[in-house]
A and B are shown apart, each in its own frame.
Chain A
C-alpha cells in the first residue's frame, strides 16, 4: 500500500466549476497535511496546510481532513484556467511524503 494515494486523473472541469481533489494516506500517526500545486516544469508550491479535522478555507481553496477515515481533500471553487496544474497531496509523519499527484485541467 502506498503511503499517500491520489487519483492520477486527468481531471477536467469547465471554468467557474468546483474542482474536487482527493487523497488517502496510510500512516495513522500523520499529523500534518499539505496540498501543493506544481505547474509543468516547475517545482511544487504550497497552497494549503491543515492539521485538524474539519474544513479550512483560504480564498477559493478549501481543504478538508478526516483523520478517522485517513482522508484529505481539496476543493477549488470558481476554477480558472490558471488553476490547471498537478496537485500534490503530502502528509508528514517524519519527512514529507507525497502522492503521485492529480492533473487538473480547467477548460475556458
Chain B
C-alpha cells in the first residue's frame, strides 16, 4: 500500500508567477485536502476534494484553486504568487464512507517565493 506522495519537494518561484503542486493519494482513499503551513504555525485548511468536486474551502482567495482527477490524484494551483505564499504545502488523503479515519499526510512541498 503506497502512502501519499507530493511533488516537487522544494520549489522557488518569483512573485507574480504561477505554481502547480501535485499529490498522489494513498491507495483506496477518495478524498484529498490541501493545507498551507507557515513556519511555527499549524496547517491551515485550503480546500478539500471528494469525487473530483470541491466540498469544503478555508479562508483562502480564489487564486488558490485545485483539481482532483478520476484516479484521486490532485493538483493545487496558485496564481499571482505573493511573498506570503512561502510555506510548506501539505496534501492529505482520506476515505469518506468508511468511518472517519483521519487524514494521511504527504511529506509536503516547500515553496519559496522571492
A binds B: yes
Given the known inter-chain contacts A43-B108, A94-B55, A95-B58, please indicate yes or no for A100 contacting B102, CB distance below 8 A: no
Interface residues of B in 45-96 (CB under 8 A from A): 45, 47-48, 55-58, 90, 92
Partner of B41, one of A32, A42, A97, A100: A100
Contacts of B108 in A (CB 8 A): 43
Contact status of A46 and B102, CB under 8 A, knowing A95-B47, A98-B45, A99-B42: yes
Tell me if A96 and B55 are in contact (CB < 8 A): no
Residue among B33, B40, B42, B108 having the largest count of chain A Cβ atoms under 10 Å? B42
In the complex formed, the residue of A with least CB distance to B58 is A95
CA distance A32 to B47 in the complex (A): 18
A51 within 8 A of partner (CB) = yes
**Interface residue A62 (Cβ < 8 Å from any Cβ of B):** no
Q: Could you tell me how many residues of chain A have their Cβ less than 8 Å away from some Cβ of chain B?
A: 22
CB-CB under 8 A from A101, the residues of chain B are: 41-42
Q: For residue A43, which residues in chain B have a CB less than 8 angstroms away from its CB?
A: 90, 105-108
Contact between chains at A95 and B56 (CB < 8 Å): yes
Query: Could you tell me the distance in whole angstroms from the C-beta of A53 to the nearest C-beta in chain B?
Result: 16
Residues in chain A near residue B42, CB distance under 8 A: 4, 6, 88, 98-101
Q: In the complex the two chains form, what is the Cα distance from A100 to B55 in whole Å?
A: 24
How far does the Cβ of A15 sit from chain B's closest Cβ, in whole Å?
25
Task: For the complex, give the distance between the alpha carbons of A100 and B57 in Å.
Answer: 19
Q: Within the assembled complex, what's the spacing in Å between the Cα atoms of A27 and B103? A: 20
B7 interfacial contact with A, CB 8 Å: no
Complex Cα distance, B40 from A39, in Å, reads: 12
Does B44 touch A at the CB level, under 8 Å? yes
Report yes or no: B102 in contact with A34, Cβ–Cβ below 8 A.
Answer: yes
Q: Tell me which residues from 48 to 66 in chain A have a Cβ below 8 Å from any Cβ of chain B.
A: 49, 51
